[in-house]
Amino acid sequence: MGNTEKVASTGRFGSRYGIGIRRKLLKVEPLQFQKHKCPNCGAPRVKRLSKGIFECNKCSHKFVGGSYLPQTLAGGIISKMVSQKVFVPEMVEALAKAAGEEKVPSEGGSAATEGDRPPEEVPSEKPEGGN
């Protein structure tokens, strides 16, 4: 077999699938197979069962995450915000504004009732003539 210094673990595919896909796989594989901590017990014994499903080998806690990693980038940001409670003051302000405003119909005409609308014209007869 040839030298796999540049292609590392994707050398097993040979020339199949194209270089772009193999390079993407090179970025994901080391992250996928490293030790991950369980969100329940904190032990670094999480194993990937299938796409997005992970299980801790210590406490048997099953949870979902990203396709390759137990926690996605967006999920990590949100959990950090929740733990720091950064979003709470902004959420309180938004709720106060929503509670303070009454639902007043705008003057754009979208709040018109059927009584306000002009009656639709119905054509009386078809014009006689060509067919």
Give the single-character DSSP code of 1.
Answer: -
Q: Considering only CA atoms, which of 58, 63, 94 is closest in space to residue 79?
A: 63
Please indicate if the annotation marks 79 as binding a ligand: no
CB 32 within 8 A of CB 69: yes
Position with higher pLDDT, 128 vs 22: 22
What is d(CA 64, CA 18) in angstroms, rounded to the nearest whole number? 30
For 25-81, how does the pLDDT look when each residue is reduced to its tens digit (9 = 90+)? 999 999 888 999 999 999 999 999 999 999 999 999 999 999 999 998 888 888 888
Q: Is 131 labelled a binding residue?
A: no
- 59 annotated as a binding-site residue: yes
Q: How far from 73 is each of 24, 56, 114, 122, CA to CA, in Å? A: 17, 20, 50, 59
* H or E element in which residue 50 lies: strand 46-50
38 has binding-site annotation: yes
d(CA 110, CA 92): 30
Arithmetic mean of pLDDT over the chain: 80
